[in-house]
Amino acid sequence: MSVQRFAIQLPTMTPGTSRSIQCLRFGRKGARPKLYIQAAIHANEMPGTMALHHLMPQLIEADAKGLIQGEIIVVPTVNPIGQAQLVGNQHLGRYNLLSYENYNRNWIDLAPAVAERIAKKLGQDAEENITLIRKTALAVLKELEPVNELRTLRVEIQKLSVDADFVLDLHCDIHAALHLFMAARDWPQGTATKSGPAYELAADLGSEATMYNEPYPSALTFSGVNGALWARLAERFPEASIPQACMSCTVEMRSQFDVSHAQGEQDAARLLRWIVRQGIIKGDPGRLPRLRVPATPMQGMDVGYCPKDGFLAYHLEPGAKVKKGQAVCDVIDPASPHGPKARTTVYAQTDGVLFAKRLNGSLAWPGLVLYRIAGEQRLAHRAGMSGLDD
């Protein structure tokens, strides 16, 4: 069995144009565990694509040796619509230019439709419930009739991911340390257990900030809908046995400009080590590296918003440990002649790790997200906020 390449054809939007998504399958279709891994849904975020560029030859090698136990679907650039958005010699890949939607929102919450169909069929056998839910979710997706290219992309990609045991969605930020977003159900909360796929992912990848949504992300991100399907169904049917059958994670692979062969090779090696640790590929993953920082709740994430117009100068770099009250960033009024008085400083509102920021010299406007800090303390002013406000 060698690598299978296949393409998903998207419907034509304007006469004479058409796009397709290039996908690869390693291992055997239907084998378990199944990993679905994609990059560049924000089409200008290439560190994940670079990691996959270096990972795929190793998957071919593992396959040639007969070591792949499960199924691995790799989609290195999942968003050909965003890739084509060239505007005035700039590539704009985060928002769909047709609808101004963020490409990582509005994925399909299948839970209501699935719940309706399985209500009378669920039992106490977790494995049987898993099979039933996966089959039903696929059937719901197959019946959808998406009206355009972007909606078709979402349906077709969810058909590939919905029955996976593991879903990894590779992103990056503008200027960031490696960080993860996941659901609380995936993280071994309140236990001394230093194991489990999510814990191991954070340790293997060397995550510098890991945040969990409680109980699951409410925003319809790609990794959110894949993981939340199980949590939402478990919530809806508390009497049935519905485990978290999919560990789904958004992996933010540092900074947009941080793409190199050296970094790509290292990321590929770390991903492969985790893949082996999950038994998807046979082998010895070696000892689990020490977790660099404990996971923190999403409500503990401090988000710095820009108070006024100006341009930016930061006092800190991503990965920095910060204290509440510490100066993170200046918004500078370029027309003011008063030197330091022209600067409006934005201060950290929690102790934690500054994990993402904009670039020095960027123009800024009121309400713009300037930075994010992962902190342990739940912040009253963040209650009920998703944190996904850009």
Nearer to Zn ion, 63 or 252 (CB): 252
Nearer to Zn ion, 92 or 342 (CB): 92
CB of 140 to Zn ion, least distance (A): 26
How would DSSP label each residue in 226-282? HHHHHHHHHHH-TTS------EEEEEEEEETT---HHHHHHHHHHHHHHHHHTTSB-
Task: Tell me how many helices (H) and strands (E) the chain has.
Answer: 8, 20
Looking at 100-220, list the stretches that DSSP marks H as alpha helix, in order from N- to C-terminal side. 111-118, 126-143, 149-161, 197-205
Tokens 């499960």 map to which residue?
A: 70
Q: Coil, helix or strand for 46?
A: coil
Residue type, 81: I
CB of 42 to Zn ion, least distance (A): 3
How would DSSP label each residue in 360-376? TT-EE-TT-EEEEEE-S
CB of 45 to Zn ion, least distance (A): 5
CB of 105 to Zn ion, least distance (A): 11
Q: How far apart are the first and last CA of the chain?
A: 42
Nearer to Zn ion, 91 or 323 (CB): 91
Nearer to Zn ion, 42 or 53 (CB): 42
Cα gap 122→27, rounded to integer Å: 31
Nearer to Zn ion, 256 or 278 (CB): 256
Nearer to Zn ion, 176 or 276 (CB): 176
Of the candidates 136, 139, 131, the residue with the CA atom closest to the CA atom of residue 115: 136
Q: How are beta strands 34-39 and 166-173 bridged, if at all?
A: parallel
CB of 279 to Zn ion, least distance (A): 29
Residues 130 and 233 sit within 8 Å (Cβ to Cβ): no
Q: How are beta strands 175-176 and 179-183 bridged, if at all?
A: unpaired
Contact residues toward Zn ion (CB under 5 A) are 42, 45, 171
CB of 104 to Zn ion, least distance (A): 6
Cα gap 168→248, rounded to integer Å: 6
Nearer to Zn ion, 19 or 42 (CB): 42
Nearer to Zn ion, 69 or 250 (CB): 250
Q: What are phi and psi of 57, to 5 degrees?
A: -60, -30
CB of 36 to Zn ion, least distance (A): 17
CB of 40 to Zn ion, least distance (A): 8
Residue facing Zn ion at closest CB distance = 171
